[in-house]
Amino acid sequence: MLEALPAHLRGELLSAKATRQKHQRGRFAPTPSGPLHLGNLHTALLSWLFSRLQGGEWFIRIDDLDTPRIQSGAEAQIFADLAWLGLDWDPPIWRQSERRGLYSSVLSALRRTDLVYPCRCSRRMLAHLSAPHGAWPIYPGTCLNKRHSWGEVQGKLPSWRFRLEAKVLNWQELGAETCQLNGATDVGDVVLRRADGYLAYHLATAVDELWMGIDSVVRGTDLWVSTGPQVALMQLLQQDPPQYWHVPLLQDEQGQKLSKGQQAPGLATWRSEGGTAEQLIGSWAASNGWVPPGSTLSPSDLLKELKNNPQKWLAQFKVMGLF
């Protein structure tokens, strides 16, 4: 598939690969669909720490392809919240909405491999796949062997699905042995372009990790299975995936994960109750066993603490060989 890309994109990909081999690069990739909740910000802190502890770069990527979900002012609030916490980032700011041409070129090359096929299943047809407790829904292959048209039928375009073969997909999970999923039985054929024309999460994310030269991805455990199709896309481009660290999600008092859908509290609530950034960072650091309970410190203070006592970091997350 690499050969199917335009020459300038192959050159960009190889350049990004060289950068990744020389420099540690991490990223935080929020969707501006509303205020960040405390769980988002906790993951941002861990991602920032992981990059900064290794002297690496830390980028912000705005995942704003799903236009109907975008809320006015949300992007500016993301930057304001990160700055209030004391998390600094490296330029430039990456926005997926500015990179649609890149994604479309990769998708066109992928289609020529015959690993993408048109699917005309509606959401209602697949509603029964919504598994309980957030389990990953496996597409049953309804359209896999059908000869659907790529064009409009009764005014509707098909979605484009990625054909995942029954083979093992491997990646390196920090603090664990190499992880693996079976493409066919654990992941299934995911959508790369929706029927409404919007490019889907897996395609854009996989492409961005490679073209940005991302070396490590720190994100929540709810995205663990998503790593499978993203790794498969990277392998088709003959590239190694970054190392991953899927961190536990913050939960509310009822044991439910914090989410935007449930309107989980963010910094506005914290600040309205008189909380400071240093108190919040201190509470998170204490919950990870890095500082005593009741500590107040900034991200830069915490960074110095962990640099001076690397065993605290290594013991808590079992990430070996980083220092």
pLDDT digits (tens, 9 = 90+) for 118-131: 999 988 888 766 54
Find the range with the poorest average confidence among 51-65, 101-115, 244-258, 280-294: 244-258
- What is the predicted pLDDT for the residue at 320? 33
Give the pLDDT confidence of 178-224 residue by residue, as tens digits: 688 999 999 999 999 999 999 999 999 999 999 999 999 999 989 99
> 135: pLDDT confidence band, cut at 50, 70 and 90?
low
What sign does the CA torsion over 92, 93, 98, 102 have? positive
pLDDT, mean of residues 163-168: 92
Percent of the chain topping pLDDT 90: 71
- Yes or no: say if 78 and 64 are a contact pair by the CB < 8 Å rule: no
Cβ contact 183:228 at 8 Å: yes
Distance (Å, whole) CA 32 – CA 55: 28
Residue 255 has pLDDT above 70, yes or no: no
Could you say which DSSP state residue 222 is in? Answer: G
Confidence category of residue 137, pLDDT binned at 50, 70, 90: confident
CB burial of residue 95 (10 Å; 0-12, 13-18, 19+): middle
> How much is the pLDDT for 322?
39
pLDDT recorded at residue 169: 93
Q: Which amino acid makes up residue 40?
A: N
User: What pLDDT is stored for residue 122 in this prediction?
Assistant: 87
pTM equals: 0.91
Selected residue with higher pLDDT from 201 and 135? 201
Q: What are residue 251's DSSP bridge partners? A: 257
Residue 253 has pLDDT above 80, yes or no: no
Write down the pLDDT at residue 101.
96
What pLDDT is attached to residue 265?
A: 75
Residue 244 backbone phi and psi in degrees, to 5: -120, 150
Q: What is the pLDDT of residue 312?
A: 67
Residue ranges in 223-298 assigned as alpha helix (H): 227-236, 267-272, 277-287
44: exposed, middle or buried (Cβ count in 10 Å: 0-12, 13-18, 19+)? buried
Lowest-confidence segment of 145-154, 197-206, 230-239 by average pLDDT: 145-154
For residue 288, the 8-state DSSP code is T
pLDDT tens digits for range 307-319: 888 776 656 554 4
Between 311 and 248, name the one with better pLDDT: 248
Q: Which domains, ranges and CATH numbers included, belong to the chain?
A: 2-275 (3.40.50.620)
Mean pLDDT, residues 244-261? 70
* Predicted pLDDT at 289: 84
Give the other-Cβ count within 10 Å of 17's Cβ: 17
- Residue 132 has a pLDDT of 44
Mean pLDDT, the chain, rounded, equals: 89
- Specify the length of the chain in residues: 323
C-beta atoms surrounding 3 within 10 Å? 8
Highest mean pLDDT among 56-65, 120-129, 130-139: 56-65
Residue 256, pLDDT score: 60
